[in-house]
Amino acid sequence: HFFWESMQPEGGGLPEGGVLQQIEKDFGSFTNFREEFIRSALQLLGSGWVWLVLKRNERKLSVVHTRNAISPLAFGDIPIISLDLWEHAYYLDY
């Protein structure tokens, strides 16, 4: 599963190499990307996911959200980062 395989010990921080370069190219800066990612998460009501994807046809990174269990693969996008917004991801803490 993409979500679990993307986790690693000591993860976090800025991406490196080509991913960071592409984020800066497509969003102007990492800060701009981060703000758009957070904004998309805050706008999603109900269960779903926020994704950083590579749009195949445009060869450009984009932030998208999907509802329920829909994957961006269904639309031909390549997932890079995912954020789980299903209730099980946060309800015990909040």
Full set of structural domains in the chain with CATH: 17-89 (3.55.40.20)
User: Model confidence at 2, in pLDDT bands (50, 70, 90)?
Assistant: low
Total-model pTM: 0.81
User: Model confidence at 37, in pLDDT bands (50, 70, 90)?
Assistant: very high
Predicted pLDDT at 47: 87
Predicted pLDDT at 45: 81
Q: Left, alpha or beta for 37 (phi > 0: left; psi -120 to 50: alpha)?
A: alpha
User: Model confidence at 59, in pLDDT bands (50, 70, 90)?
Assistant: very high
Report which of residues 64 and 85 the model is more confident about: 64
DSSP of 47-76:
SEEEEEEEETTTTEEEEEEEETT--GGGGT
- Please say whether the beta carbons of 61 and 27 come within 8 A: yes
What is the residue-averaged pLDDT of the chain? 85
Q: Which helix (H) or strand (E) holds 26?
A: helix 17-27
- How far, CA to CA in Å, does 72 sit from each of 35, 78, 93? 20, 7, 28
Q: Which residues pair with 66 in a beta bridge?
A: 49
The residue type at 36: E
Mean predicted confidence (pLDDT) in 62-89: 88
Nearest Cα to Cα of residue 53 among 2, 17, 1: 2
Report which of residues 38 and 16 the model is more confident about: 38
Q: Which two tokens stand for residue 48?
A: 């779903």
